[in-house]
Amino acid sequence: MIKRIIPLLLCIGLVFWTCEKDEEPLPEDCSGVAGGNSICGCTDSTATNYDSTATFNDGSCAYYIDNGEFFLRFDGVDDYAESAI
């Protein structure tokens, strides 16, 4: 009986030893780089939602100044605009 068990145990051990675990792929960061560490956000310093810590522009910039377009933002507390015209 031992002569039958030893080959069986060897075969089972060989099967477990030869099985390889599939490595899981690294998760992608917000810029699409596997295993990357990009910080996504608005990198345009003229935008109202500028993020100084962002290393990758994700296209979320809002209200940015472009080719002479200007804007005023009021927070509702002691705001006023004065014109020299």
Chain segment 12-61, per-residue pLDDT in tens: 766 666 666 667 888 888 888 888 888 899 988 878 888 999 989 988 88
Question: Has residue 43 been placed in a domain?
Answer: yes
Question: Has residue 69 been placed in a domain?
Answer: no
Question: Has residue 84 been placed in a domain?
Answer: no
Q: What domain count does the chain have?
A: 1
Question: Has residue 74 been placed in a domain?
Answer: no
Closest CA to 31 of 39, 22, 21: 39
Question: Has residue 39 been placed in a domain?
Answer: yes
- For the entire predicted model, the pTM comes to 0.44
Residues 71, 83 contacting (CB under 8 angstroms): no
Question: Has residue 49 been placed in a domain?
Answer: yes
- Compute and round to an integer the Cα radius of gyration of the chain: 31
Phi-psi group of 78: left, alpha or beta (phi > 0 → left; psi -120 to 50 → alpha; rest → beta): left
Question: Has residue 53 been placed in a domain?
Answer: yes
Neighbour tally for 40: CB within 10 Å? 16
Question: Has residue 14 been placed in a domain?
Answer: no
